[in-house]
Amino acid sequence: VTAGVASLRGFCYQALGQLSARTPALVTGTADIAARVFGALASEPEGVRASVQGAARALARAYKGCGGGVAMAIEGLLLSSIDASASSAGGGAENSRRLVAAQWARELFPFDHVPARYLCVVAAGDAKADVREEGRAGLRPPGEEELLAKRRAGRFASEKTEKTEPEDEKSSRALPSATSVLAYLRARHPELGKPAALTARLPLPPLAMAAALAFAKRCVAEETAANPGTAAPEGYRLFLEHCLVKAAPPELTGAATEALLELVEQFPETFAEPADAAAAVARVRHFAAHVDAP
């Protein structure tokens, strides 16, 4: 591609970005434009890629809030762009596409949109640091860091201020239910619905599995706090089993062991079956025996 052609193509992507910002309805009726831009992120030469990224950012704002078939098509597009099996390969073009996919997953859908949070889980296990950070950010409720900083500064100390916080801001930070998160993980990785042997493989790369665990644990805490007296979310015990395998790094097994002990304490009925209780005890003993002494 000559410099002149690259410059012209760059102008075309800039024009697309401006069009989607001014008249989003012209480009968001289907996912076709989004698919072409994601394809361009991987195929356009480096000199054009910055313009493609700019168009992708503008399109993300245009597609925000989409629903129905368009939303489903976007979900599939993002999943194919950030697939875990491709995260350890590819050059700058593929890295760019995965980064933009992680950004779209973070920004395009409501925070309680489970498929988008799954995409962020996958991104959190990526080989590239910037993609991983984008994925982790997508698993934190919007504005959480700013909210915590304000509370530490005493800006939300008064009851009056707490009551006047806009309801839409509260709902935008709402976590998805733990039940729906675990069900989606099982749908993507059916082995999570079955007991795991100690020698089983991790369903996701270690960093992605750790991100899934941290997010699922947070959703479980939120769900059980809002509905005291309810049973543990379906599939949570089996999910923890799949984190407690020999292939898992120490950080993951440590966090999963802690979560398993919390599950025993809060929901002892989960281990009412003697076989389930014996399996949990054996797993905890196995990993406790492999903890290095101080």
- pLDDT band at 85; cut points 50, 70, 90: very low
Arithmetic mean of pLDDT over the chain: 86
- What confidence score (pLDDT) does residue 193 get? 94
- What confidence score (pLDDT) does residue 45 get? 87
Distance of CA 212 to CAs 48, 125, 139, 176, 208, Å?
35, 10, 9, 13, 6
CA distance 107 to 64: 8
How far the first Cα of the chain sits from its last, in Å, is 60
Percent of the chain predicted with pLDDT > 90: 60
- pLDDT band at 90; cut points 50, 70, 90: low
Distance of CA 14 to CAs 11, 25, 55, 58, Å?
5, 17, 6, 9
User: Which of the given ranges, 4-8, 253-257, 287-291, has the highest pLDDT on average?
Assistant: 253-257
- In one letter, which amino acid is 176? P
Average pLDDT over residues 51-56: 93
Exposure letters 204-220 (e unless 16+ CB within 10 A, then b): bbebbbbbbbbbbbbbb
- pLDDT band at 163; cut points 50, 70, 90: very low
Exposure letters 21-59 (e unless 16+ CB within 10 A, then b): eeebeebbeebebbbebbebbbebeeebbebbbbbbbbb
Q: Measured at the alpha carbon of residue 128, what is the angle toward residues 35 and 248, in degrees to the nearest 5?
A: 110
Q: Are 55 and 20 in contact (CB under 8 A)?
A: yes
Supply the Cα-derived Rg of the chain in whole angstroms.
22
Pick from 84-88, 94-98, 127-131, 240-244: least confident: 84-88
- What confidence score (pLDDT) does residue 224 get? 87
Percent of the chain predicted with pLDDT > 70: 85
CB atoms within 10 A of CB 255: 19
Report which of residues 227 and 115 the model is more confident about: 115
CA distance 185 to 4: 47
Average pLDDT over residues 53-61: 93
Q: Which residues contact 9 (CB under 8 A, 6 or more apart)?
A: 1, 44, 48, 51
Q: Which residues contact 171 (CB under 8 A, 6 or more apart)?
A: none
Calculate the dihedral angle through the C-alpha atoms of 7, 9, 13, 14, rounding to the nearest 10 degrees: 30
Question: What does DSSP assign to residue 156?
Answer: T
CA distance 86 to 82: 7
- pLDDT band at 172; cut points 50, 70, 90: low
At 54, list the tokens. 């700019």
pLDDT digits (tens, 9 = 90+) for 125-145: 999 999 999 999 999 998 776
Distance of CA 278 to CAs 114, 216, 232, 255, 272, Å?
33, 24, 19, 20, 10
Question: What does DSSP assign to residue 229?
Answer: T
User: Which of the given ranges, 35-49, 75-89, 196-210, 275-289, has the highest pLDDT on average?
Assistant: 196-210
pTM of the model: 0.85
Q: Any idea which residue has 């062991």 for tokens?
A: 257
Number of alpha helices (DSSP H) and beta strands (DSSP E) in the chain: 15, 0
- What confidence score (pLDDT) does residue 160 get? 45
- pLDDT band at 279; cut points 50, 70, 90: confident
Average pLDDT over residues 105-134: 94
- What confidence score (pLDDT) does residue 23 get? 92
